[in-house]
Chains A and B, each alone.
Chain A
Amino acid sequence: MRKKTLLVAVALLTALFAGNAFCAEADYPQKPINTMIGFSPGGGSDVMFSMVRPQLEKLLKTTFVPIYKPGSGSDIAATETAMAKADGYTVFISCTPFIPINPYVRQTAYKVSDLMYVANVVTDPGLIVVKADSPYKTMADLMKAAKEKPGAVTVAVSAAPGDDWFAMHLLEASSNLDFNVVPFSGDGPSWQAAVAGHVDASSNNLGVVYPQVKAGGLRPLAIMAEKRSPYLPDVPTFKELGYNFTSFSARGFAMPKGTPKAVVDKFAAAVKQVMDSEEFKANANKTAFPADYMGPEQYTAMIKSLDAIYQPLWDKYGKAAAGAK
């Protein structure tokens, strides 16, 4: 009896992992696709994946198996992707600026060129938020407080170095002010600390905090984009306020180097088709998901272009900070 129970259980587990591979199509994909996610559930990569996953599964007639390997600013998941078979059955949720800045910041087991950049899904602008009943009603209030008490205004960021962390350095540089920047373990804990009032503000991303903004828990002060977001038309850009910088986190799909072009193109086309659908657009609209499709060439070029932005920033702020610690 007991052995039987065990056997059944083990069989169940195996089935769960092997997934069901009865796809009749001779073409890719013929089996479930492992999806490497480099951050804890609930973060930006998870939100992005949740938005496209249902339709993408329907379209590609397969299932995605999410594998969470959080830590090291997605390095663990990126390393495993780089080492995986280049057959299209391992995709990685790639987030800027971790890709491409991590291999520059520290010794990683993979190179930026070990990955093929398949499709970008979202480009999420940075946003500074405070608690709904915070005394800081506008960005000017927050800047004034930072001026009066240098280094006393605490701002949570998701990680060091992450896009929010770079953004705070850009803000400090363009305003000549000093903030107390506190790295939390992800953008989720960062905005939660702001809602609870443990920090004065959180430097975060629009798509991540929008639900709380909409629900009235957080107040947005200023957005780090070229122009205002249609979702938050009343929130000024930093450029309007006289701070000349923008910041964003782009998230998309990457595969190991050497994945056949036909596979990459098919995956990218499927992502595009999903993102063009009315169903996706309606959902994106409801959750303020700043969709931004880029195909393989454009996405690869975008990743390349980031080196020129972030490497000097890291040289200037990161090395100094790492040395000080």
Chain B
Amino acid sequence: MDVFGGLLGGFSVALTPINLLFGFLGAVIGTVIGILPGLGPLGTMALLLSLTYGFDPTAGMILFAGIYFGAMYGGSTTSILLNIPGEAASVVTVMEGYQMARRGRAGAALAVAAIGSFVAGTISLVGLSFLAPTLARAALKFGPAEYFTVAFVGLLIMTRLTGGRLTRSLMLIALGLALGTVGMETVAGYMRYTFGQPLLAQGIDFLPVAMGLFGISEVLITAEEQHQSVQMQKVGFRELWPTFEEWKRSMWPMIRGSFIGFFVGLVPGPSPVISTMVSYGVEKKLDKHGEFGKGAIEGVAGPEAANNASVGAAYVPLMALGIPFTPAMAVVMAVLLIHGINPGPLLMSQRPDLFWGVIASMYIGNFMLLVFNLPLVGVFASIIRTPLFVLMPTVMLLCLVGVYSVNNSMLDIWLMIGFGLLGYFLRRLRYDLAPLILAMVLGPMMERSFREAMMISRGDLMVFLTRPISATILAVGVLAMLGPFLFDRVGRAFARKP
């Protein structure tokens, strides 16, 4: 099918007033829920499903696309400003983004994140429009063995990402993996570390841990630092925007991040998370300014582009084959099912109006989000001008409300406070917390895919080496780990010879 013809038809569908309205609504709702830690895009879409009944399924799809993209746009805001990652995909953004905010470059970080999101969204949409069927078939080649190796290599790379010694990040990764085993184990249904608490059966949620480790611990540390009158650097409004130098430095990371995000995003599972880790790793490797860990703009631009590009990629298997790999995509699929449409390989030819309408509306939505988000940069960046004695209690409140809103559970609040204290002590001891939380997110998925792979191969570990994709990923991981070390050795060996 002619892509340009399809897109043109799609724009004629997407530009009808009602669809434009839904696109706008989605973008606004998405941005709001992205900014507020707590309710994520999945929960919002499930709640709003009933809004879509009365309308054409295209309108519903457009609304949800707006929410999904918008949530990714907004997700970086609290990471950068308040050190609170609202979802797993913005944990990496915290590392450089918050440091930038502390140096008074919050506005630059937010602007670069918004523009990076736009660039990445556009690149991934072009990929979705032109290559969807081909890419979807390639994505199917990834099975349980590959999911495991992707996540495993992601964690390996993680150990190299943060500063500090290898043993430190390994310890935190081990702790994170252990936390990920809490709850009901998925194969035989055994309870692990639940201590008779039925609420722990579903495991420990990301949000209480993230908000505790990052948000609460930040409040505690700030409270302590105030005695030493360490204040966040205050800046004037004019300095909110990125400088030319900052633009120049973020351009290539954005583009690299987009491609990384799109291709990693095709792999089902928590791929947005892994894509941000890979992008951060790449940028750190290529860094020439030595600013990583102290607020390098590349470390915001790359990962933020990557997590947005992975949203477009998540749509690929759904639109091309009717396979919803993620829970969020399953809710999107429900919009179609309610109207009696069976999404599948034939969607593109049977309902081109819907297929191309949705894709075209994503281009429009992406543009709307940029227009909508850039003016907000100034508003949000001025948040850090708020006196700390107002800001910090508000952050605390935001964390409490946000965590409670997700499961309506007091247990989550206690968990958050507990992890807040843990985070405080670990940070005082100069541990980097990102590996802990990322390992916790990836752990359950790693365990499940490992066991599925083992059951399929009937206990043969070689399955990870005999499957070509899995073996390639492992090889890349080993190279990334040992590479610097080996080259160093070889280099020195040559140097010694006269």
* Chain A interface residues toward B at CB < 8 A: 1-3, 5-6, 9-10, 12-13, 16-17, 40-43, 46-47, 50-51, 53-54, 57, 63-66, 68-73, 75-76, 79, 105-106, 109, 151-152, 154, 159-161, 180, 182-185, 188, 192-193, 195-199, 210-212, 214-217, 282-283, 286-287, 321-322, 325
Task: Tell me which residues across on chain B come within 8 A of A16, comparing CB atoms.
Answer: 39, 47
A64 touching B50, Cβ below 8 Å: yes
Additional A-B contacts beyond A79-B198, A183-B187 (7; CB < 8 A): A2-B379, A13-B39, A16-B39, A41-B42, A51-B338, A182-B452, A283-B340
Per-residue interface assignment for chain B, residues 443 to 458, with 1 indicating a CB less than 8 Å from any chain A CB and 0 otherwise? 0000010001001101
Partner of A71, one of B201, B344, B390: B201
Chain B: CB-nearest residue to A19: B47
A40 touching B46, Cβ below 8 Å: no
A154 and B456 in contact, given A196-B141, A216-B345 (Cβ under 8 angstroms): yes
Closest Cβ of chain B: how far from A53's Cβ, in Å? Answer: 7
B379 touching A1, Cβ below 8 Å: yes
A50 touching B189, Cβ below 8 Å: no
A9 touching B324, Cβ below 8 Å: no
A-B contact count (CB 8 A): 170
A196 touching B140, Cβ below 8 Å: yes
- Once the chains are docked, how many angstroms separate the CA of A50 from the CA of B338? 6
Task: Tell me which residues across on chain A come within 8 A of B39, comparing CB atoms.
Answer: 13, 16
- Ordered by A's residue number, 15 sampled pairs between the chains whose C-beta atoms are within 8 Å are A13-B38, A16-B47, A40-B327, A41-B330, A50-B49, A54-B53, A66-B49, A68-B42, A159-B186, A184-B452, A192-B325, A217-B321, A217-B322, A282-B340, A283-B338
Q: Which of A160, A182, A197 has the most chain B CB atoms inside 10 A of its CB? A: A182
Question: Is B181 in contact with chain A by the CB < 8 A criterion?
Answer: no
Per-residue interface assignment for chain B, residues 301 to 345, with 1 indicating a CB less than 8 Å from any chain A CB and 0 otherwise? 000000000000000000001111101111101100111101111
The interface size bin for chain B is 35 or more
Partner of A6, one of B342, B346, B394, B452: B394
Closest Cβ of chain A: how far from B392's Cβ, in Å? Answer: 13
Task: Tell me which residues across on chain A come within 8 A of B422, comparing CB atoms.
Answer: none
Chain A: CB-nearest residue to B455: A182
- Once the chains are docked, how many angstroms separate the CA of A287 from the CA of B336? 11
A197 touching B201, Cβ below 8 Å: no
Task: Tell me which residues across on chain A come within 8 A of B121, comparing CB atoms.
Answer: none
- Once the chains are docked, how many angstroms separate the CA of A192 from the CA of B180? 24
The prevalent SS among residues of A at the interface is helix
Question: Is B183 in contact with chain A by the CB < 8 A criterion?
Answer: yes
Partner of B187, one of A6, A9, A76, A160: A160
Task: Tell me which residues across on chain A come within 8 A of B340, comparing CB atoms.
Answer: 282-283, 286-287
Question: Is B155 in contact with chain A by the CB < 8 A criterion?
Answer: no
Per-residue interface assignment for chain B, residues 187 to 209, with 1 indicating a CB less than 8 Å from any chain A CB and 0 otherwise? 11100000000110111000000
B46 touching A41, Cβ below 8 Å: yes
Closest Cβ of chain A: how far from B382's Cβ, in Å? Answer: 7
Partner of B337, one of A5, A6, A47, A196: A47
Quick one: which of B104-149 are within 8 Å of A by CB?
140-144
Question: Is B21 in contact with chain A by the CB < 8 A criterion?
Answer: no
Closest Cβ of chain A: how far from B77's Cβ, in Å? Answer: 11
Chain A: CB-nearest residue to B325: A192
A69 and B386 in contact, given A47-B337, A195-B323 (Cβ under 8 angstroms): no
* Chain B interface residues toward A at CB < 8 A: 32, 35-36, 38-39, 42-43, 46-47, 49-50, 53, 140-144, 183-184, 186-189, 198-199, 201-203, 321-325, 327-331, 333-334, 337-340, 342-346, 379, 382-383, 386, 390, 394, 398, 401, 405, 407, 448, 452, 455-456, 458
Chain B: CB-nearest residue to A58: B53
Closest 6 CB pairs of A and B: A215-B344, A42-B330, A198-B143, A211-B342, A286-B340, A71-B202
- Once the chains are docked, how many angstroms separate the CA of A197 from the CA of B321? 14
Closest Cβ of chain B: how far from A112's Cβ, in Å? Answer: 16
Closest Cβ of chain B: how far from A320's Cβ, in Å? Answer: 12
A216 touching B344, Cβ below 8 Å: yes
- Once the chains are docked, how many angstroms separate the CA of A197 from the CA of B137? 11
B143 touching A211, Cβ below 8 Å: no
B405 touching A17, Cβ below 8 Å: yes
A76 and B394 in contact, given A2-B382, A42-B333, A180-B456 (Cβ under 8 angstroms): no
- Once the chains are docked, how many angstroms separate the CA of A41 from the CA of B45? 11
- Once the chains are docked, how many angstroms separate the CA of A215 from the CA of B345? 6
Task: Tell me which residues across on chain B come within 8 A of A193, comparing CB atoms.
Answer: 143-144, 452
- Once the chains are docked, how many angstroms separate the CA of A64 from the CA of B53? 13
Closest Cβ of chain A: how far from B321's Cβ, in Å? Answer: 7
Task: Tell me which residues across on chain A come within 8 A of B334, comparing CB atoms.
Answer: 41-42, 46-47, 50
B198 touching A109, Cβ below 8 Å: yes
Task: Tell me which residues across on chain A come within 8 A of B456, comparing CB atoms.
Answer: 154, 180, 182, 198-199
Q: Which of A42, A51, A65, A180 has the most chain B CB atoms inside 10 A of its CB? A: A42
Chain B: CB-nearest residue to A9: B36
Chain A: CB-nearest residue to B329: A42
- Once the chains are docked, how many angstroms separate the CA of A239 from the CA of B338? 33
- Once the chains are docked, how many angstroms separate the CA of A187 from the CA of B50? 24
Chain B: CB-nearest residue to A321: B188
A40 touching B330, Cβ below 8 Å: yes
Task: Tell me which residues across on chain B come within 8 A of A215, comparing CB atoms.
Answer: 322, 342-346
- Once the chains are docked, how many angstroms separate the CA of A82 from the CA of B188? 24
A12 and B344 in contact, given A66-B49, A71-B203, A198-B143 (Cβ under 8 angstroms): no
B398 touching A6, Cβ below 8 Å: yes
- Once the chains are docked, how many angstroms separate the CA of A221 from the CA of B309? 39
A13 touching B401, Cβ below 8 Å: yes
A212 touching B344, Cβ below 8 Å: yes
Closest Cβ of chain B: how far from A253's Cβ, in Å? Answer: 17
A41 touching B327, Cβ below 8 Å: yes
Partner of B189, one of A3, A17, A72: A72
Chain A: CB-nearest residue to B454: A182
Closest Cβ of chain B: how far from A157's Cβ, in Å? Answer: 11
